């Protein structure tokens, strides 16, 4: 849908959807931290950046639906090739359950895991707030610095606003005769 939708804003939104679904796959694999990072970075930063770019570019939605049929046979051929390769790889690698052969395979439930287990985020948080507290503080300082810097570089004080005011009468009354003389405002 990301590449087939005509409206570019919709396509960016579909891109966000695909990021979210990828991170939900990571959630299913119990990698919560990476999944959340995925959402924060890809959706929060990159996709929003794309959205801004798309909004600024002001693209015209041209109708390109006619051409899609032309590419259909070639595209479906490539898709078939990839499907066959994927099937081959799966049949090669997953003949049996790899866990059964493993040294660590255990039929019984590990009760320690049930009782004492921490999720990834909890573990990372516990390390971050105890062992790496200085680094955490430095990162906070960097954020403060980024905020200060962004404010400094973008702020418009009243002073500069006054200078940029447009005096239309002065502009219109300007002609080639008084150009060299008018030095005073």
Partner 1 sequence: MMTLNTLLFKEVNILPELFLGISIVYLVLHCTFLSMQKSFPLIQNSVLNLGILVLFFVWFLLINDRLDVLSFGSFNNTIVFDYISFSSKTIITILSALCLLMMSQYLSDQKLNHFEYILLILLAVLGLFLLCSSNDLITAYLAIELQSLSFYVLAAFKKNSTFSVESGVKYFILGAFSSSLFLFGSSILYGISGTVNFEEFRDLFFYLVPGETVNPVTEVSTTFSEITKKIMAPNFANTGLNSSEINALITECKEFADPNSIFTYEKFFAYHYLYSAIMDNLMSSGKAFEVTDLPYNASMNEAHLELQSCKPDPETKSNAFRLAWIYLDTIMEYLKSSKCTDFDESYQKNFILSKTSVDIGLLQVGLMFILISLFFKLAIAPFHVWAPDVYEGSPSSSSFFFSVVPKLGIFVLLLKIFHYSFFGIIDYWRHFISIVIILTILAGSFGGLEQRKVKSLLAYSSISHMGYSLIAFSTGTLEGIQMLFCYLIIYSFSGLCIWSIFIILRLKNNYESKGNKDLTDLVLLSKSNRMIAIFFATVLLSVAGFPPMIGFLVKINIFLSSMESAMYFVALISILCSVVATFYYIRIIKVLFFEKVLVGQLYYPLNTQKSLLIVGLFFSLLFLFVNPSLLFLFSYKLSLLVNPI
Q: Which residues lie near partner 1 (CB under 8 A)?
A: 103, 131-135, 137-139, 141-142, 144-146, 148-149, 151-153, 155, 157-160
Q: How far is CA 167 from CA 104, 158, 174, 185, in A?
A: 81, 17, 11, 10
Residues 72 and 56: beta-carbon distance below 8 Å:
no
Q: Which residue has the tokens 């396509």?
A: 11
Query: What is the nearest approach in angstroms of partner 1 to the Cβ of residue 24?
Result: 27
How near is the Cβ of 130 to partner 1 at its closest, in Å?
A: 9
Rounded Cα distance between 15 and 46, Å, is 10
Of 97 and 157, the one with the shorter C-beta distance to partner 1 is 157
Quote the CA–CA distance of 164 and 159 in Å, as a whole number: 9
E-state strands within the chain: none
Instruction: Output the smallest distance, CB 2 to partner 1, in A.
Output: 28
Which CB sits closer to partner 1, 162 or 172? 162
For partner 1, the closer of residues 123 and 139 by Cβ is 139
For residue 79, the minimal CB distance to partner 1 (Å) is 35
């Amino acid at each position: 849908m990301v590449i087939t939708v005509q409206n570019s804003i919709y396509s960016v939104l579909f891109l966000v959807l695909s990021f979210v679904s990828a991170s939900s796959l990571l959630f299913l694999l119990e990698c919560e931290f990476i999944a959340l990072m995925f959402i924060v970075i890809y959706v929060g930063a990159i996709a929003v950046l794309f959205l801004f770019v798309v909004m600024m570019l002001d693209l015209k939605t041209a109708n390109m639906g006619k051409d899609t049929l032309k590419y259909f046979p070639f595209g479906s051929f490539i898709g078939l090739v990839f499907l066959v390769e994927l099937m081959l790889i799966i049949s090669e690698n997953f003949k049996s359950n790899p866990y059964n052969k493993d040294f660590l395979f255990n039929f019984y439930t590990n009760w320690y895991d049930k009782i004492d287990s921490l999720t990834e985020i909890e573990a990372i948080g516990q390390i971050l707030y105890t062992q790496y507290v200085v680094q955490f503080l430095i990162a906070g300082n960097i954020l403060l610095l980024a905020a200060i810097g962004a404010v400094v570089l973008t702020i418009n004080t009243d002073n500069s606003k006054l200078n940029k005011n447009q005096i239309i009468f002065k502009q219109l009354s300007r002609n080639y005769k008084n150009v060299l003389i008018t030095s005073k405002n």
